[in-house]
Amino acid sequence: MLKMTPITKLRLSCGVITNKYEPFIPKLETYAIENLEVVGVCGIVMRHYIFPTLYVAVDKKHRKKGIGTRLVKDIIYRARYPVFLTVWTGNPSYKIFKKFGFKKVCNWRKIRGVKTIVMVRL
């Protein structure tokens, strides 16, 4: 079982960890730290062993400060390959993803009761 660290809690909040009993090994990951506290995380994990999938989470108390934008920008710069993600269009991060050139590929399934879409950045 995963150790419940601030980083793990952020990963759980964005849904990238779907089974807390399986090991979680990101391909790339970066953090936002304020006052010695991790307030944001963004990274890429391989889904289904072939799809590099982006995830991002910022602590609710630290949103609307540009933290998510900075994290996504850093990961995209470091990735240098196509990146996928799933998001619902009402999520505030949807605008960030569009700003960085992510395009809708298709509709996806309901996650947490909300329909989501798949996006890719080539």
Which residues does residue 42 pair with via DSSP β-bridges, in sequence order? 30, 56
Domain span holding position 77: 6-121
Within a domain: 88: yes
Within a domain: 1: no
* Dist. CA 21–CA 89, nearest whole Å: 30
Within a domain: 86: yes
- Residue reference for tokens 């999938």: 53
pTM of the model: 0.86
Q: Which two tokens stand for residue 61?
A: 């108390």
Within a domain: 64: yes
Within a domain: 40: yes
* Dist. CA 36–CA 30, nearest whole Å: 15
Domain tally, the chain? 1
pLDDT in tens, 16-41: 877 777 778 899 999 999 999 999 99
What is the CA angle 9-111-63, rounded to 5? 45
- What CATH number should be reported for the domain holding residue 113? 3.40.630.30
Give residue 1's pLDDT band: very low, low, confident or very high (50, 70, 90): low
Within a domain: 68: yes
